[in-house]
Every structure is written in C-alpha cells, then in structure tokens.
Amino acid sequence: MNNNNATIDKMKAMRLHGMAETFRNILETGNNAKLTNDEIVALLIDSEYDYKHNRKLQRLIKAARFRCQACQYGYSVGYYSGSRLFAEIKMSKSEGTYIKLINKIVKHSVLIIDDFGLEKLDDSGRMAFLEIIEEFHRRKSVIIVAQIPVSKWHEIIGDPTIADAIMDRIVYNSHRIELKGDSLRRKMYEID
C-alpha cells in the first residue's frame, strides 16, 4: 500500500488531483481486480479531464462574478453593473491603473454590462466606454442590459459625437430584445 500512497502523492504533486482521487477510490473499493489495465488508464484519464474541465468552469464563473451564462461553453465572461464599471474606471484613472483595468475588461470573450444608463456618463466614463466598445466591436460579444430605452442612450452617454460613435458600434451590429410586462424579480419574490 505504501507504493500506492507514493503514487497518489506523486499524482498530487503533478497536480493530477482528479486522477489521484479516482486511483485512491479504485484501491479502496477493490475495483482494480474487475477492470483491465486499459480500462483503468481510461478511467484515470477521464477523471483528470473532468476534474480540469470543472475547475476551469468554476474559475470562469468566479471571474465573471455571476452564476454561469457563456462560461459553460468555455468563454471568458466579464460581468459588471453599469454604475460599478464606471466607478471603477474613474477610480483607476486617479490611481494610475486605468490601462490595467481596460486590459482586464477587454481580455474577456463576452462582456456583460447590467443596469446600463442609471447615471449619465462623465468625460472619463464616456471615453472609456468608447474604447471598450471599440475593442469588442465585430470581434467579441457585449451584452448590455438596461431599463432605459435605447432612444435615451445618446442623452446618457452625453457628448453627441462620442455618443454617435458608440451607438454606431452597438446598434448596427446587434440583436435587440425588448421585454415587456412585469418585472421577473418582482414575480420571483411574490408571496402567494
């Protein structure tokens, strides 16, 4: 058994945690007598593959800061509430970390901006929004969720020239879904 423990320790040292756990289970249950060598190897490899796939999925979900969305398909997702995104941008400019923040945002395959337009954009927010939208334009996906109608976005963005540039990149290459009716959140929390 010491030899098997050493093998499990080596698997863990090589970060083969899924494989180590399955190997330990095979030894404890005595299933190794029922399996052929190639079945054991296949089982170990499948276990490690599943372990790594699930860990990657969990990392993507954690990085996205929400439950799942596109992460299940292996895409990197950035999730921001509109007000928090623009507050982070303003703070990063004063701290000298603006470029680092923008690079972090644009590295994602999908960007979700929730509750866009609750506050009007200032100069720094407007220019950063243009830069972000330009980076994603025709290459990656941006999902913008807003309770404000698109016809009011010009006013929220502010400067007409910059608003035109942003809206050109958003509106003409987008799929728009308008929901009508009661709030789903309200329905979820209603008590019968």
pTM of the complete model: 0.58
* pLDDT top residue among 72 and 103: 103
Please indicate, yes or no, whether residues 44 and 99 belong to a single structural domain of this protein: no
Confidence of residue 161 (pLDDT cuts 50, 70, 90): very high
Do 142 and 47 lie in one domain? The reply is no
- Is residue 178's pLDDT more than 60? yes
Residues 81 and 50 in one domain: no
Answer yes or no: do 98 and 165 share one domain. Answer: yes
Q: For residue 43, give its domain range.
A: 2-64
CATH number of the domain bearing residue 146: 3.40.50.300
Overall number of domains in the chain: 2
Q: Are residues 97 and 50 in the same domain?
A: no
SS (H, E, C) the chain: CHHHHHHHHHHHHCCCHHHHHHHHHHHHHCHHHCCCHHHHHHHHHHHHHHHHHHHHHHHHHHHHCCCCHHHHHCCCEEEEEHHHHHHHHHHHHHHCCHHHHHHHHHCCCEEEEECCCCCCCCHHHHHHHHHHHHHHCCCCEEEECCCCCHHHHHHHHCCHHHHHHHHHHHHCCCCCCCCCCCCHHHHHHCCC
Q: Are residues 120 and 76 in the same domain?
A: yes
| Same-domain pairing of 164 and 82 | yes
Rounded average pLDDT over 65-91: 75
Asked if residue 192 has pLDDT above 50, the reply is no
Cα gap 179→185, rounded to integer Å: 13
